[in-house]
């Protein structure tokens, strides 16, 4: 069953249920109010008759004119003596006349039924000179009231049927409008599956609910992100193919050279073997960097832990200082250490990438400054090297991007190090900025939030 049908049936069911409860409440409320009103009218009439009889004690109870002035259609008024005999009676309704007359020394009132018709009755004792002489009984058929109730039932039925029909069409129209964006999303997904081409959902001028707008925006953001990923993958494959093309061309060229002259000329053979070994190593390093970058795209790449950032940087600086015989100074403003929550191995890899770049493109000492504030941890890696042109800085984090291709090849770079560094920083919810001036040096600024 579709969401539209479910929503429509659910809404109609509860609407009918509430409508039935409302109609029942209205019906019985009207009955209660109208019946109470009729009972009050009979009570007032009985009080008037009793007062009239008391005001003229000499007038006999059998006087035919005694009750005439109080008579109305659909009523029966009578006086019953202590023996149960009717001594005075006004009324011609045959249904009311059939009701048995009984003497009562107490006040009685209520609602009874005669031949399916509701009848209100009231009995009160009559006194003359403090002596109980009989009972006054008034009966009234609620015929007019029942007719009004029938009209009310008919009106409630007609309006209820109209309301249900209106609710059915209104709910179906509303759910059709409500689920239209979802249907559009489904059709878009099917079109994407069929054609393999990502496409967003267009937000039309029609008014949509905030939730649907958020759903459409979230879907479009997902499509945009997937499109960027796919474009990035295509670009990555293109760039990787381009990067692999050079060493493969060199290897093939020297292999052809070996086939032609390498067997007879030892110098050519040695040169070819050296070049093939060098390009093979270069290609191996390139593939390793590509695999690292691919792993960095995975959300589960990180393993969080708590470690001392200053101690970690000291260890890396000491190791690289011995390896490259370069001066690397670490400045920490908090001697007790700076705790950081993150992936120790990835932060170590990040620092190796940044320090290695500083070593490649500078000859003077390298300074690393580590500090912290209330909410942030800051790391600065500074060198006094050749620097980077200002217009090249925004592109440094792109894969396979080189400021100077020939110079990068001499140093063995592939343009992947800073892309990996940017991914590590992003996974730690931090920021990385590069400030550089040609001929002066470069500073890489890292910021990480404290967790």
Mean pLDDT to the nearest integer, 282-292? 71
Query: Are 429 and 449 in contact, with CB atoms under 8 Å apart?
Result: yes
Tokens 């950081």 — which residue?
340
**Residue 240 pLDDT exceeds 70:** no
Banded model confidence at residue 415, pLDDT cuts 50, 70, 90: low
Query: What is the model's pLDDT at position 224?
Result: 82
Residue among 374, 372, 373 nearest 332 (CA): 372
Q: Which of 100-104, 176-180, 201-205 has the lowest mean pLDDT?
A: 201-205
Q: Tokens at residue 411, please?
A: 């140093």
Q: In this predicted model, which residue has the larger pLDDT, 198 or 66?
A: 66
* pTM for the whole structure: 0.47
**Residue 280 pLDDT exceeds 50:** yes
Q: In this predicted model, which residue has the larger pLDDT, 18 or 223?
A: 18
Banded model confidence at residue 270, pLDDT cuts 50, 70, 90: confident
For 205-222, how does the pLDDT look when each residue is reduced to its tens digit (9 = 90+)? 555 567 777 777 888 888
Banded model confidence at residue 407, pLDDT cuts 50, 70, 90: very low
User: In terms of C-beta density within 10 A (0-12 exposed, 13-18 middle, 19 or more buried), how is residue 158 classed?
Assistant: exposed
Tokens 């994407």 — which residue?
192
Mean pLDDT to the nearest integer, 324-336? 86
Q: CA–CA separation, 371 vs 309, rounded Å? A: 10
Q: In this predicted model, which residue has the larger pLDDT, 238 or 358?
A: 358
Banded model confidence at residue 409, pLDDT cuts 50, 70, 90: very low
Q: Tokens at residue 74, please?
A: 């659909």
Long-range contacts of 1-5 (CB under 8 A, 24+ apart): 2/179, 3/175, 3/179, 3/182, 4/172, 4/175, 4/176, 4/179
Between strands 328-332 and 366-372, the pairing is parallel
**Residue 302 pLDDT exceeds 80:** no
Query: What is the model's pLDDT at position 313?
Result: 93
């Amino acid at each position: 069953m579709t969401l539209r049908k479910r929503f429509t049936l659910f809404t109609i069911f509860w609407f009918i249920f509430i409508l039935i409860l409302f109609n029942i409440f209205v019906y019985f409320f009207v009955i209660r109010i109208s019946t109470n009103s009729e009972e009050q009218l009979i009570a007032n009439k009985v009080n008037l008759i009793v007062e009239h009889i008391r005001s003229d004690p000499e007038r006999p109870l059998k006087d035919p004119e005694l009750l005439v002035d109080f008579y109305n259609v659909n009523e029966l008024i009578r006086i019953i003596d202590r023996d149960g005999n009717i001594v005075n009676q006004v009324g011609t309704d045959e249904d009311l006349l059939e009701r048995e007359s009984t003497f009562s020394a107490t006040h009685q009132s209520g609602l009874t039924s005669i031949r399916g018709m509701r009848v209100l009755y009231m009995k009160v004792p009559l006194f003359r000179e403090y002596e109980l002489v009989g009972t006054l009984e008034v009966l009234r058929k609620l015929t007019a009231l029942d007719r009004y109730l029938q009209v009310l039932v008919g009106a409630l039925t007609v309006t209820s049927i109209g309301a249900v029909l209106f609710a059915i069409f209104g709910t179906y129209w509303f759910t059709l409008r409500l689920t239209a964006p979802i249907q559009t999303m489904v059709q878009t997904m099917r079109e994407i599956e069929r054609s393999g081409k990502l496409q967003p959902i267009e937000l039309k001028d029609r008014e949509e609910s905030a939730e649907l707008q958020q759903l459409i925006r979230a879907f479009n953001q997902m499509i945009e992100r997937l499109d960027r990923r796919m474009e990035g993958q295509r670009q990555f494959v293109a760039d990787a193919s381009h990067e692999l093309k050079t060493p493969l061309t060199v290897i093939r060229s020297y292999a052809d050279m070996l086939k032609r002259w390498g067997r007879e000329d030892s110098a050519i053979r040695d040169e070819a073997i050296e070049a093939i070994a060098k390009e093979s190593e270069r290609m191996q390093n390139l593939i390793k960097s590509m695999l690292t970058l691919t792993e960095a795209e995975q959300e589960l790449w990180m393993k969080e832990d708590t470690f001392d950032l200053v101690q970690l940087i000291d260890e890396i600086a000491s190791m690289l200082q011995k390896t490259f015989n370069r001066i690397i100074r670490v400045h920490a403003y908090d001697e007790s250490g700076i705790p950081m929550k993150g992936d120790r191995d990835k932060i170590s890899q990040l620092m190796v990438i940044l320090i290695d770049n500083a070593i490649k493109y500078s000859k003077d000492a390298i300074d690393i400054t580590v500090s912290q504030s209330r909410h942030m941890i800051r790391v600065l890696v500074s060198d006094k090297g050749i620097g980077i042109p200002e217009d090249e800085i925004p592109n440094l984090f792109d894969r396979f991007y080189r400021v100077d291709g020939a110079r990068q090849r001499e140093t063995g770079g592939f343009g992947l190090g800073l892309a990996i560094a940017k991914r590590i920083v992003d996974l730690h919810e931090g920021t990385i900025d590069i400030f550089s001036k040609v001929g002066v040096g470069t500073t890489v600024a890292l910021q990480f939030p404290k967790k």
